[in-house]
Structure 1
Amino acid sequence: MSLTTTSTKSMDEKKGQEQTKSAWFQFLKSVMTFKGDLTSLTAPPFLLAPTSIIEYSAYWAEHPKLFVAPALEADPEVRALKVLQWFLSTLREQHASKDETGKRKKLKPLNPFLGEIFLGRWMDDTVGVTELISEQVSHHPPKTAYKIFNKGHGISLEGHVAPKAYFSTTINIDRKGHGVLHIDRYDEDYLITMPKVHVEGIMTFQIAPELSGVSYIHSSSGYVSRIEYASKGWLLKGKSNSFVATLATTSDPSKPLYTLEGQWNKAYTIKKGGEKSKVTANVDLAGLRRTPLTVAPLDQQHPLESRRAWHAVAEAIDANDIMAVGREKSAIENAQRALRREEKVDGRVWPRRFFREVRISEDPVLARFADDAALRRSDGNSDDDSEGMSWKFDEDKYRRTLQNAAEGVKSPTHTRFDSGIGMINEEILVGA
């Protein structure tokens, strides 16, 4: 390569970086003055990830052995500790600013459309098959419901996430919702809430998500885990991605049985007792290798499945084709708006495929935690909804869908024009 060619390439790269920074600061100006949920804002293409946020449900079980481990433990105290350790293992890939290869992640995933689904399974030689079912049950406000289960070991996780983003000195994401981990063998439930997220480095363009606040894991067998998150912060004190977690009995939460401390993206220590106790174990989170999630080939996916529906958009993002990104995204979004208008005129509501909405007070599992402040804070509903709502997996709907598939009942063919999700007729709605 000649010196001239090298110089030209370097100048083009520098120009591209300057244009990207300029676009970022223009976007940041609109963020700072925007009133309402930032998830509804259209982000510049260079920030867009080629995946929908509905795929984030997969982070819960990308280490199937750790997901199943509590079901194999007879001691309830150690079982609660294993649930806490599994939860900590879910944070690294979900929130780290770089992927396993060291490549910086895109900041903004695609907003799922109402009715979007994401299905997959993890195959593990030791613990067998773990399955994932995720559905976008609400678009305004956004809510994603999920069910993850390993039938062979009798363990399951279900819940919903309702993120809300706002600007206050930086971009903040408050994730309402909760998960419930259930272990069949012990008829035991764990209520799980999520930490808040804020974005650091927005003025220096070194964008990195960071966790903050406190999240909890409450067990029906009488244990509670409290996880407090900290970051380096404006005064550069401490370390990024830090946390301190304690496991205690519900009757005496101030007396830790175990203390886990470290960085959720690297490693942590386990101490039996309080923070001043001796370290009994070291855990390397960075060394964990994810089990790949298996999904159906695109041509075998349902038209509402995420990767099929967003395929053209994802291709355009990967190709850095800004015009195609806008065109393909608009096709999906406009089709959805038209469908909502049609439903309103006809007096119809989009039927959810796998989940149903229930009042927390009417659900026998959630009723165990009805007095829990963490559950009341996590319901993701407006302040005037005092009882709170949750989304539950509907076994009957799921079995009906499986039966239809086994009997060869298929949805009608859709053209690529609307990515398979526009103006969907009644045959698709009944669970084909």
Structure 2
Amino acid sequence: MSEEEISNDTEVLDDEPRSILLGLISQLRKGMDLHRVTLPTFVLEPRSMLERITDFMSHPELILRQEDPVIRFVSVVRYYLSGWHIKPKGVKKPYNPVLGEHFRARWQFRDKTEAYFVSEQVSHHPPISAYYYASPENNLIISGDIRPKSKFLGNSAATLMQGESKIYFTNRPGEVYRIAMPNVYARGILFGRMVMELGDNSTVRCEKNDLICELEFRTKGFFTGSYNSIYGKIKRESTGEILYEITGKWIDIMYIKDVK
């Protein structure tokens, strides 16, 4: 792990916040749902989940005006991967929104077209955040929901990112891109350096064009591997033919290689 990655993705707590956190953890049981637990503010970022979702709307220009269906699919994958690096320094969790809370945003692009976003907390227990993004002039709609489920795992905590994001091009009827998220892990909460990792599998799928991207967000092992690694394949779902290979680090640089 480079010095820059260590400074951005890890956090060493002082004695007082570490003591507060250990006192809280002593009341937890392994596998316990953390959404009913009140967390100290030093582990929270100054945004709610409703605003955090906009990180994935940062680069819509990557998916606009692509005519070839395969290139368009690759562009959707690039767009999806482009938002993960946006995060606060250290190991932070967004605030849980209250029921009925909403967040609105508007973007103006270089060509003077615009996009609009609204998100709302539609359920508190279990927590569900729904969102809708639209750029009518660019024939683009992104909608979905996030249903995070947090669990205490001992020296780590996991947020299982259930829910789905869907991308529609209104000028291409029936073409829907369905995206499933990876899970988020906070390591080292009892001892060692606190580290945030993305882990497990994620998919991007377009049934109409018979394309799927299978992504693996790789967590670091005790003795092998590295932090923030990603590996994936874009392929024809019906035949399994591999078209592109994805490697690199989701926090830094990723490569999409044509292997046809």
- Structure 2 length as normaliser, TM-score? 0.88
- 1:122 Cα offset (Å): 1.6
Letter in 2 for 1:178: E
**Aligned residue among 234, 250, 255 for 1:264:** 250
- 1:201 Cα offset (Å): 2.6
Q: Residue in 2 aligned with 1:139?
A: 124
Q: Residue in 2 aligned with 1:39?
A: 35
Q: Percent identity?
A: 28
C-alpha separation in 2, matches of 1:166 and 1:154: 39
C-alpha separation in 2, matches of 1:159 and 1:43: 27
Q: Residue in 1 aligned with 2:20?
A: 23
| Contact 1:198 1:210 (C-alpha < 8 Å) held by counterparts | yes
Q: Residue in 2 aligned with 1:278?
A: none
Structure 1: segments with no counterpart, 5+ residues: 1-15, 275-432
Q: Which structure shows the higher helix fraction?
A: 1
Q: Residue in 2 aligned with 1:225?
A: 213
| Contact 1:217 1:225 (C-alpha < 8 Å) held by counterparts | yes
**Aligned residue among 68, 75, 99 for 2:68:** 75
Q: 1:35 to 1:273 in 2, by over 3 A?
A: closer
C-alpha separation in 2, matches of 1:21 and 1:30: 15
Q: Which structure shows the higher strand fraction?
A: 2
C-alpha separation in 1, matches of 2:216 and 2:40: 33
C-alpha separation in 2, matches of 1:35 and 1:218: 31
- 1:127 Cα offset (Å): 6.3
Provide the secondary structure at the position in 2 that maps to 1:185: coil
- Structure 1 length as normaliser, TM-score? 0.54
Provide the secondary structure at the position in 1 that maps to 2:27: helix
Q: Residue in 1 aligned with 2:181?
A: 194
- The answer to whether residue 92 in structure 2 is matched with residue 107 in structure 1 is yes
- 1:242 Cα offset (Å): 0.6
Give a deviation string over 1:195-230, Cα, whole Å, max 9, x none: 111112323463222111111111032110111110
C-alpha separation in 1, matches of 2:127 and 2:246: 33
C-alpha separation in 1, matches of 2:60 and 2:238: 31
Q: Residue in 2 aligned with 1:123?
A: 108
Give the number of aligned pairs: 245
Provide the secondary structure at the position in 1 that maps to 2:201: strand
Provide the secondary structure at the position in 1 that maps to 2:17: helix
- 1:105 Cα offset (Å): 4.2
C-alpha separation in 2, matches of 1:152 and 1:62: 17
C-alpha separation in 2, matches of 1:232 and 1:113: 34
Q: Which runs of 4+ in 1 moved over 4 A?
A: none
| Contact 2:60 2:79 (C-alpha < 8 Å) held by counterparts | no
C-alpha separation in 2, matches of 1:202 and 1:234: 16
- The answer to whether residue 61 in structure 2 is matched with residue 61 in structure 1 is no
Letter in 2 for 1:60: F
C-alpha separation in 2, matches of 1:115 and 1:37: 22
- The answer to whether residue 174 in structure 2 is matched with residue 177 in structure 1 is no
Letter in 1 for 2:239: D
C-alpha separation in 2, matches of 1:48 and 1:271: 37
Q: Residue in 2 aligned with 1:154?
A: 139
Give a deviation string over 1:238-284, Cα, whole Å, max 9, x none: 2211111211111123x31000100000002221118xxxxxxxxxx
| Contact 1:122 1:130 (C-alpha < 8 Å) held by counterparts | yes
Provide the secondary structure at the position in 2 that maps to 1:202: coil
- 1:115 Cα offset (Å): 0.6
C-alpha separation in 2, matches of 1:89 and 1:127: 22
